[in-house]
Amino acid sequence: MKKKLERTVDLPEGFTSEIKGNTIKLKGNSKETERDFDLGKVLVKQEGNKITISCEKATRREAATIGTTQAHLQNMIRGLSEGFTYKLEICNVHFPMNVKAEGNKVTIKSYLGEKKDREAKIEDGSKVEIKGTEITVTSDDIEKAGQTAANLEKATKLKGRDRRIFQDGIFITEKNGRKI
């Protein structure tokens, strides 16, 4: 393949970027996000309100790195402008469970009648709101929001029982406005 590849990401009005080595920092809407990239031979430059990702003699690996970096930058911009929201549903058929957000963890009490509480970690930068049987996870970073939602779902993972009968748990129902 070995050809020159180049992609650009346009920054919206009011956004600024700062590039130091493999670290890219974006600021906008009075928020800030930063990410370290493993760029290898790929060059990242800022030209006005555009970020250019390029490589002179790109192989498949560099082409993949360029596409991945572009997608991450677009997610960072979208996170600063809109934010990311995951919605989860608390389902209990056998035993009513109590779910409370306390500090950097969510405590799940009485899951399937268990005496021991289950806990799920809330990633830094994520906010968890519990209203009735609906849990809303919001963050500026898609990875932190997704990981917090996955931690909640994993905390109620059922082992050793038939999932068709024991349908209790916390389940992701919506990712960024898209129903699942």
Residues 76 and 90 in one domain: no
Domain end among 40, 63, 81: 81
Residues 167 and 116 in one domain: yes
Domain end among 46, 81, 116: 81
Q: Given this model, what pLDDT does residue 34 score?
A: 93
Residues 55 and 96 in one domain: no
- What is the number of structural domains in the chain? 2
Residues 55 and 113 in one domain: no
Q: Given this model, what pLDDT does residue 93 score?
A: 84
CATH number for the domain that contains residue 168: 3.90.930.12
Q: Given this model, what pLDDT does residue 68 score?
A: 95
Q: Name residue 52's beta-bridge partners.
A: 8, 45
How many CB atoms lie under 10 A from the CB of residue 91?
Answer: 14
Residues 26 and 105 in one domain: no
Q: Given this model, what pLDDT does residue 141 score?
A: 93
Domain end among 81, 112, 144: 81
How far apart, in whole angstroms, are the C-alpha atoms of residue 94 and residue 149?
23
Q: Which domain holds residue 145?
A: 84-179
Residues 77 and 90 in one domain: no
How far apart, in whole angstroms, are the C-alpha atoms of residue 59 and residue 3?
8
Q: Which residues contact 54 (CB under 8 A, 6 or more apart)?
A: 4, 5, 6, 7, 42, 43, 45, 66
**118-137 per-position pLDDT tens digit:** 999 999 999 999 999 999 99
Residues 92 and 135 in one domain: yes
Res. 1: pLDDT tops 80: no
The answer to whether the predicted template modeling score (pTM) of the entire model surpasses 0.75 is yes
Residues 48 and 105 in one domain: no
How far apart, in whole angstroms, are the C-alpha atoms of residue 70 and residue 10?
10
**90-127 per-position pLDDT tens digit:** 998 878 899 999 999 999 999 888 899 999 999 999 99
Q: Given this model, what pLDDT does residue 85 score?
A: 96
Res. 165: pLDDT tops 90: no
Residues 59 and 109 in one domain: no
Q: Given this model, what pLDDT does residue 78 score?
A: 94
How far apart, in whole angstroms, are the C-alpha atoms of residue 71 and residue 131?
33
